[in-house]
Each structure stands twice: as structure tokens, then as C-alpha cells.
Amino acid sequence: MNIGFLGLGGMGAAMAANLVKAGHQVRVWNRSAAALEPLLALGATAAADPVAAFDGEVVISMLADDAATRAVIFDSGALASAKPGLIHLGMATLSVDLVGELVARHRERGVVYVAAPVFGRTDVAAAGKLNILAAGPAQAIATVQPLLDAMGQKTWPLGEDPLRAAVVKIAGNFMIASAIEAMGESSALVKRFGVEPAQLLEIMSGTLFDAPVYRNYGAQIAAQRYEPAAFRLVLGLKDVGLALSAGQGRHVPLPFASVLRDNLLEAIAQGDGERDWAALAQVAMRRSGQD
């Protein structure tokens, strides 16, 4: 399949590499040209600009946030240049407001927009084991399913409205942040009583909370291993903000999301913004004087 790929951060580069390895023709673009080199070595070709990336059967975007997506998709003229029938797979975590705008503006151009955000960190992306949420026209999803299969271990269909995939991704990241916060506060509590957080987290992740989020982040918190960052804490703040914004738009109170936002801001103020977002757990330790 002839694919354009926009955005070669840690996640995007790994996803694009798996598409090349699966035998697809992939044209890659990134603001920083240095990120293209490993993909070109694998057999990808370089797109001169976002407009060139949009010249194909499918274009995939994995851009950092709303602002980057708006600049690359709209402001560059890429969408305006797109031919009717193109399928755009938006795989980043974006606000529901922007996803709604993307759907409307793509429809005006005769271009199909499918929201396909992912669960998984960079190592999972490199292994092709992402869990992919997919919402959009059923025929378009069927067309791109071989691409989704190359990047992920499972595709979770969520209907024809792309907002559904966007909000499930936002809600999922809110749940991860909540789990990190709970582990951080619980660790601070038991440490005050002479119990090592590592012991608590090993017990909990091996019994009541035997799930990847608790096992993986629990091990990071126990070891205070927050670098290198697989998912930066500043991005966690962005995603919790997306949850609050989505809730406000539909009058859904999210009181704990407000707590998380403030705690993430405190972590950033303490210099943890570029560390892995598991460093959120350090806020509770600092507050209890045990950091």
C-alpha cells in the first residue's frame, strides 16, 4: 500500500518502521529531518513536505498534540491538496474538539478521517504490539486493517464516529495517571510505617492489581526509575487536560482529573516535566517529607 507518514517521534518512528518491514511503500516526513535517516535506511522514502505525504492511498499522522496537528494538516496546505478518496489515519492523542474539526474539514474535501489512537509505549510500538482504537467509516477501516495489523496486536472497533476512539483514548490515559497517583500516595503511606514501597507494589501488582499498568509503572516507582522517559510527564499533563476539556464540553464532572492536573503541575514545577510520567508518584513522597 502507498502510505504517507507524518511525525517520527519515538512512537511514530517505530510504527513507520513496522509498516516498511511489512512491505508497504512508505513516504515519511518529520519537522526534524534527522529523524528520517533510520527509516530511509530501512527502505522508506522522504516526503519533501506534508503535501507530498498526502499524495497516496493512505496518510498516517502521529503528531505531538493539537497545535502540531493543526499546523501540519491544515496550515501547511496538506489537507487542501488531498485528492478525494484518500484515507487519513489520525493515530495521535488529540482533543475531541480538534477531532470533530478534522472530521468536518476532511468531509469537505472528500477525504475520509479515521481516528486510530493507540495504547502502548515506544517499546510496545517497536514490537508491533500496540492496542489500536479505531472509529470511522467501516469500509475505510477494512481497507487500512493490514496497516493496523502491522503496527498492533489488536484493533478495537468503536463504531463510525471518530470521536468515540478519541474519547476512549483520553479516558484510558486518565485511568493510567490515576493509577500512578494511587501507587504514589500508597507508597508514601507505607514508607512512613517502615514498609518499603517496592514490597507493597510487588504484593499489589501480583495479587489485586495484576495488570500491565500496575506491574510496569509499579516497578518504575519502586526503583524510582524515571529516565529515560518512555512517556514524558508534560504529555501526561496535556492528556489530563484533554479529559477535563472533554468533560467540560459535555457537562461531565471529573473531580479527580482536577487533582491530577494540579499534581502534574507541581511535578513540573519541581523539575520532573521531562522525566517519565511515573515520576508523578514523587509528588506524594515530597509532600510527606520522604523524598
Q: Which residue has the cell 499533563?
A: 237
Q: Is the pLDDT of residue 186 over 90?
A: yes
Tell me, yes or no, whether 106 and 86 share the same domain. yes
Catalytic (active site) residue 169: yes
**The one-letter amino acid at 210:** D
Q: Which amino acid is at 161?
A: D
> Does 291 score more than 90 pLDDT?
no
Same domain for 188 and 127, yes or no, is no
The residue-averaged pLDDT of 176-202 equals 98
CATH code for the domain of 56: 3.40.50.720
In one letter, which amino acid is 75? Answer: D
Question: 151: helix, coil or strand?
Answer: helix
Residues 155 and 183 in one domain: no
Q: Do 27 and 41 reside in the same domain of the chain?
A: yes
- pLDDT digit string (tens) for 254-288? 999 999 999 999 999 999 999 999 999 999 999 99
Active-site position among 154, 169, 191, 238: 169
Evaluate whether 214 touches 204 at the Cβ level (below 8 Å). yes
CB-neighbour burial class of residue 57 (10 A; exposed 0-12, middle 13-18, buried 19+): middle
Same domain, 26 and 151: yes
Residue 10 sits in the same domain as residue 93: yes
**What tens digit of pLDDT does each residue of 221-242 get?**
999 999 999 999 999 999 999 9
Packing angle of the helix pair 212-223, 162-192 (nearest 10 deg): 40
Q: Which domain holds residue 26?
A: 2-160
- The pTM (predicted TM-score) of the whole model is 0.96
User: Would you say the C-alpha torsion 277, 278, 279, 285 has a positive or negative sign?
Assistant: positive
Which pLDDT value is given to residue 167? 98
Q: Examine the domain organization and report whether 173 and 283 are in the same domain.
A: yes
pLDDT in tens, 103-147: 999 999 999 999 999 999 999 999 999 999 999 999 999 999 999
Q: Which residue, 160, 188, 211, sits at the end of a domain? A: 160
On whether both 191 and 56 belong to a single domain, the answer is: no
Same domain, 96 and 219: no
